[in-house]
């Protein structure tokens, strides 16, 4: 038995099965939650390449699956991703039913996760772009709902994600060829430019960012939230794989400044546009851009501390975006228009819902007592020698903070209504738990984030 069979083929087959029984929502939910929990636990506890003992029989868990002459390899260093993506799936699937996500959400998401895992496992890794593109194509039916027109954001998402593939494949081919002949510097620089363009399309770097806020403002918020929180980390992990696989690129003098500049541009543009947003859904889109910018700056440090910050930030980022997306989906359920002009004083009627939005925004900004605080502090500690960079990051976060405080002012506006909790039990459970964890991560970072790191660090071989 091989690891790719367990984490790629098996969930893919289950997703096909779930597609046909999607109308039985409870059964689909139970199967998907059980499957993803099991896959995450196996990744957490069982070393890949070792022997699995099931009663009297023992099976070797091989690292490689060979398919049509190409290999899919999942090694021990990939266990972090496997644990992360499967626990993330558990988190997102758990809220799917209570957020009234479409029935096709769970089967298609499971298939998307399988393809994203395959994208990280395929060798040569240059081919990961094709598998990501297939995952993107599979995600499209989730974004269209019967009776609703096809949104421009969704179409732009499809265009930009698709355009990334040719650039990345060509760049990968050129760079792998150049490894053998490093003297051809012009060809390598051209390849690096193509690669940069491809990742810019994927990660929605300015000016290719338009689709993120547009897509966030259309369709079901929980579905777009899942895509917008799962895809960027995978792209960044693929980017890390490229950097580790292509020595010339890793050692290139222009790499760190380029990544830093792109990260800063994402944070600043995201922050500035967030400050001018009146639509909460679009604000969510800009929060995603800011999170990606933060991760890029962590990677640009090219140090153990930078990598550690990047991996550590994945969990609070996913959690804050998940809580935000769930709250937005609940707004739709309660038929509340997410425009600021319609939210005056609504915190009195839906306190938990709006406090959750504020909490997740504060966590993304990195205010004290919230999960993002220790991470931002860690990043600033790494950037102490570069004051201008810190100022730019502050500027971006200030934009998002302005948006958060403006929202807060609108929400607490006096309307004469009395305070009442009108959210459903499901909403209360999901949102309160999410807020509680975000706060605990912020108040006791060494206990929560530190202990998470202690579990995950051995899986990454980063200590």
- Residue nearer to another protein on the CB measure, 134 or 309: 134
The distance of closest approach from Cβ of residue 301 to another protein in the complex, given in angstroms and rounded to an integer, is: 34
> Are the C-beta atoms of residues 424 and 356 closer than 8 Å to each other?
no
Q: How far is the CB of 126 from another protein (least distance, A)?
A: 9
What's the closest the beta carbon of residue 166 comes to another protein, in angstroms? 4
Q: Measured from the CB atom, is 130 or 432 closer to another protein?
A: 130
How deeply is 229 buried, as exposed, middle or buried, from its count of CB atoms within 10 A (0-12, 13-18, 19+)? Answer: buried
Residue number, 121 or 280, with CB nearest to another protein? 121
Q: What is the closest distance, in whole angstroms, from the C-beta atom of residue 119 to another protein in the complex? A: 11
DSSP summary character for residue 368: T
What φ, ψ does residue 64 adopt, rounded to 5°?
-120, 140
CA distances to 59, 116, 139, 211 from 136, in Å: 34, 10, 5, 14
Cβ closer to another protein: 124 or 413?
A: 124
- At residue 122, the 3 state secondary structure works out as strand
Q: How far is the CB of 275 from another protein (least distance, A)?
A: 28
* Minimum CB distance to another protein, residue 192 (Å): 15
Q: Which is nearer to another protein, 130 or 460 (CB)?
A: 130
Question: Closer CB to another protein, residue 162 or residue 433?
Answer: 162
CA 446, distance to chain mean position in Å, is 23
User: Tokens representing 443?
Assistant: 């108040």
Q: How far is the CB of 204 from another protein (least distance, A)?
A: 17
Nearer to another protein, 10 or 173 (CB): 173
Question: H helices of 301-370, where?
Answer: 304-333, 351-365
Q: Which is nearer to another protein, 150 or 402 (CB)?
A: 150
Burial (Cβ within 10 Å: 0-12, 13-18, ≥19) of residue 48? buried
Number of CB atoms found within 10 A of residue 177's CB:
13
Return the biggest CA–CA distance within the chain.
Answer: 74
Which among 20, 118, 95, 37 is positioned nearest to 327, based on CA atoms?
95
Closest residue by Cα to residue 271 from 289, 253, 257, 255: 289
- The candidate with the shortest Cα–Cα distance to 401, out of 310, 267, 309, is 267
Distances (CA, A) of 390 to 262, 380, 398: 14, 7, 12
Of 124, 147, 107, 255, give the one whose Cα is nearest residue 195: 255
Minimum CB distance to another protein smaller for 150 or for 255: 150
Which positions lie near another protein, rule CB under 8 A? 67-70, 127, 130-131, 133-134, 137-138, 140-141, 144, 147-150, 152, 155, 158-159, 162-163, 165-166, 169-170, 173, 187
Query: What are the structure tokens assigned to 41, written together?
Result: 């636990």
- Round to whole Å and give the CA distance between 334 and 37: 31
CB of residue 141 to another protein, shortest distance in Å? 6
Nearest-approach distance from CB 395 to another protein, in angstroms:
32
Instruction: Tokens for 321, please give them.
Output: 């975006």
- Which of 126, 358 has the CB closer to another protein? 126
CB 16 to another protein: min, Å? 14
Cα angle 130, 136, 142; round to 5: 155
Residue closer to another protein, measured from CB, 67 or 369: 67
Least Å distance between CB 188 and another protein? 12
Q: Burial code of 254-272, b = ≥16 C-beta within 10 A, e = fewer? A: ebeeebbbbbbbbbbbbbb
């Amino acid at each position: 038995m091989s690891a790719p069979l367990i984490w790629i083929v098996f969930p893919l087959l289950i997703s096909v099965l779930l597609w046909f029984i999607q109308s039985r929502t409870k059964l689909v939910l139970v199967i998907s939650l059980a499957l993803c929990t099991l896959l995450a636990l196996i990744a957490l506890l069982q070393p890949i390449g070792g022997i699995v003992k099931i009663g009297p029989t023992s099976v070797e868990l091989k690292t490689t699956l060979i398919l049509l002459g190409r290999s899919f390899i999942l090694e021990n260093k990939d266990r972090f991703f496997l644990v992360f993506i499967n626990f993330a799936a558990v988190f997102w699937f758990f809220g799917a039913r209570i957020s009234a996500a479409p029935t096709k959400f769970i089967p298609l998401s499971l298939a998307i996760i399988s393809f994203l895992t395959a994208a990280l496992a395929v060798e040569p890794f240059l081919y990961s772009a094709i598998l990501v593109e297939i995952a993107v194509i599979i995600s499209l039916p989730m974004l269209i709902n019967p009776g609703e027109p096809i949104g421009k954001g969704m179409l732009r998402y499809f265009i930009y994600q698709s355009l990334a593939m040719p650039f990345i494949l060509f760049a990968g081919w050129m760079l792998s060829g150049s490894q053998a002949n490093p003297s051809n510097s012009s060809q390598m620089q051209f390849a690096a430019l193509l690669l940069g363009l491809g990742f810019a399309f994927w990660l929605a770097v300015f000016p290719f960012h338009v689709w993120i806020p547009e897509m966030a403002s259309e369709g079901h918020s929980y579905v777009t939230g899942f895509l917008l929180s799962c895809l960027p980390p995978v792209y960044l992990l693929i980017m890390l794989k490229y950097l580790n696989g292509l020595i010339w690129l890793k050692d290139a003098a222009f790499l760190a400044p380029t990544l830093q500049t792109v990260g800063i541009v994402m944070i600043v543009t995201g922050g500035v546009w967030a400050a001018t947003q009146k639509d909460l859904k679009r604000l969510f889109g800009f929060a995603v851009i800011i999170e990606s910018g933060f991760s890029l700056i962590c990677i640009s440090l090219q140090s153990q501390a930078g990598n550690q910050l990047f991996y550590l930030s994945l969990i609070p980022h996913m959690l804050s975006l998940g809580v935000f997306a769930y709250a937005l989906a609940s707004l739709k359920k309660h038929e509340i228009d997410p425009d600021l002009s319609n939210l005056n004083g609504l915190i009195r009627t839906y306190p938990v819902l709006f406090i959750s939005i504020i909490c997740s925004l504060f966590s993304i900004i990195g205010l004290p007592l919230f999960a993002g605080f220790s991470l931002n502090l860690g990043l600033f500690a790494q950037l102490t020698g570069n004051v201008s960079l810190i100022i730019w990051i502050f500027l971006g976060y200030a934009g998002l903070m302005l948006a958060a405080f403006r929202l807060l002012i609108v929400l607490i506006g006096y309307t004469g209504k009395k305070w009442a909790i009108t959210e459903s039990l499901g909403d209360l459970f999901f949102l309160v738990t999410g807020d509680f964890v975000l706060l605990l991560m912020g108040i006791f970072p060494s206990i929560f984030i530190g202990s998470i790191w202690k579990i995950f660090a051995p899986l990454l071989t980063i200590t």
